């Protein structure tokens, strides 16, 4: 076989063999040239795209994106602290209450923050639906965006529809049905606290209703709260039928009659107390089982638990003014014709309270209950009476 191939090669024309080899060499050179030009075009294209990306997105982001592609684990380390600092971009999530309370209970053990932290007030609105007094709050909050955040818990199926320009835009949290006087009310308040705790810059947490209004401008309220050594939670021993008379001995030994307290539903707590509230698994089951109407749990659960766990952190008073003088299970509601300067003078005149263990005439920062019809006169006198 080999001898036959050799004889065939020997029988070929030398000139044709040379031409064949020349043609093959030229084709190979052309192929190399094509590959070179293709690589050159790709390189130029990549350079142009990179320059445009640098112009629009910045050097740091492009470098981080490149590093992430090559070293994905390195990207996680670079952004690890930032992922804890940055508040959730969207309040709406799919966590259930157990997952939410667990996630919100994470507490840093070091007091020093490795970043510049601006403490904020979390305004938490527990509402039935719309916020008819929103324009008043918009005016109150204007210009103070770095010092507050907003959370709204509304009864399903209501979903807020504020415009993008509003401070209430997309500030509604995943909410559940709430029944007056039942444990679901306190669950909603814990849900608000837990969502607000996800923003590590929130330091103070104020529970409000859709019928609440501020009585001072933002600067005064921020100063008052941030300088206070105590949180404003009403907690007192009421020996009458609406206090100790609501106690159930089945709550022993977790809660004794001597530890039973009463207070206003509307409160302010600092971050430390907010953690105490959402971490609780000992008092919650007892109150849920043994404090049902006519034991209104929202008046007893937090005041009792906090007076046991952290009495030294409580001011033992609320700073939300309410008129109970008309009697009944609910306080007075103020309509349009009730809104006068005399009404607000009545809220402040003759008032004395303790602020950081010193007597003060400034006792109330907020007030309730105000009907939707009160909005127009409130806006008209806001500048003169409230200072905003």
In this prediction, residues 175-202 reach a mean pLDDT of: 96
The 10s digit of each residue's pLDDT in 297-322 is 999 999 999 999 999 999 999 999 99
Tokens of 201: 């810059």
Q: Give the list of residues 6+ apart from residue 335 with CB closer than 8 angstroms, or none.
A: 371, 373, 374
Q: With bands split at pLDDT 50, 70 and 90, how would you rate the model's confidence at 10?
A: very low
Q: Where are the domains of the chain?
A: 92-108+115-318
pLDDT of 19 reads: 55
pLDDT of 74 reads: 43
Lowest mean pLDDT among 10-19, 296-305, 319-328, 340-349: 10-19
In this prediction, residues 225-244 reach a mean pLDDT of: 97
pLDDT of 24 reads: 65
CA 100 – CA 197 distance, rounded (Å)? 10
In this prediction, residues 203-213 reach a mean pLDDT of: 98
CA 153 – CA 156 distance, rounded (Å)? 9
224: left (phi over 0), alpha (psi -120 to 50) or beta: alpha
Higher pLDDT, 82 or 96: 96
Lowest mean pLDDT among 23-32, 169-178, 199-208, 341-350: 23-32
Phi first, then psi: what are they for 368, rounded to 5°?
Answer: -155, 165
C-alpha pair distances (Å), 102 with each of 96, 113, 191, 262, 287: 10, 22, 11, 28, 20
CB 232 within 8 A of CB 303: no
pLDDT of 79 reads: 61
pLDDT of 62 reads: 46
CATH topology of domain 92-108+115-318: Spore Coat Polysaccharide Biosynthesis Protein SpsA; Chain A (3.90.550)
The 10s digit of each residue's pLDDT in 321-332 is 999 988 777 899
Lowest mean pLDDT among 42-51, 91-100, 156-165, 354-363: 42-51
pLDDT of 326 reads: 82
pLDDT of 52 reads: 64
Q: With bands split at pLDDT 50, 70 and 90, how would you rate the model's confidence at 348?
A: confident
Lowest mean pLDDT among 81-85, 93-97, 225-229, 381-385: 81-85
End-to-end CA distance of the chain: 107
């Amino acid at each position: 076989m080999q001898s036959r191939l050799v004889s065939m090669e020997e029988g070929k024309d030398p000139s044709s063999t040379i031409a064949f080899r020349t043609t093959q060499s030229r084709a190979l050179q052309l192929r190399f040239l094509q590959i070179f030009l293709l690589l050159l075009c790709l390189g130029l294209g990549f350079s142009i795209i990179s320059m445009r990306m640098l112009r629009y997105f910045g050097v740091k982001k492009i470098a981080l994106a490149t590093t992430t592609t090559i070293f994905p684990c390195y990207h996680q380390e670079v952004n690890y602290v930032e992922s804890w600092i940055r508040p959730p971009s969207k309040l709406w999530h799919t966590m259930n209450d157990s997952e939410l309370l667990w996630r919100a209970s994470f507490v840093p053990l070091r007091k020093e923050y490795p970043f510049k932290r601006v403490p904020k007030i979390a305004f938490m609105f527990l509402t039935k639906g719309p916020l008819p007094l929103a324009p008043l709050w918009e005016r109150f909050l204007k210009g103070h965006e770095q010092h507050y955040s907003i959370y709204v818990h509304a009864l399903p199926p209501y979903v807020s529809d504020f415009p993008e320009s509003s401070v209430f835009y997309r500030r509604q949290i995943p909410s559940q049905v709430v029944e007056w006087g039942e444990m679901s009310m306190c669950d909603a308040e814990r849900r608000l606290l837990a969502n607000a705790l996800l923003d590590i810059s929130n330091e103070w947490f104020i529970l409000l209703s859709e019928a609440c209004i501020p009585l001072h401008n933002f600067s005064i309220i921020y100063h008052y709260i941030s300088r206070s050594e105590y949180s404003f939670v009403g907690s007192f021993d009421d020996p009458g039928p609406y206090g100790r008379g609501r106690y159930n001995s089945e709550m022993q030994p977790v809660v004794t009659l001597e530890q039973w307290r009463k207070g206003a539903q509307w409160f302010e707590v600092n971050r430390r107390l907010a953690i105490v509230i959402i971490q609780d698994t000992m008092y919650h089951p007892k109150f849920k089982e043994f404090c049902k109407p006519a034991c209104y749990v929202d008046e007893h659960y937090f005041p009792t638990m906090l007076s046991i766990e952290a009495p030294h952190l409580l001011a033992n008073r609320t700073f939300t003014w309410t008129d109970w003088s008309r009697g009944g299970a609910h306080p007075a509601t103020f309509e349009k014709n009730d809104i006068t300067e005399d009404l607000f003078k009545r809220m402040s005149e003759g008032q004395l309270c303790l602020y950081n263990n010193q007597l003060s005439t400034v006792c109330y920062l907020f007030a309730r209950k105000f009907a939707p019809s009160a909005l127009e006169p409130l806006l008209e006198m806001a500048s003169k009476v409230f200072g905003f």
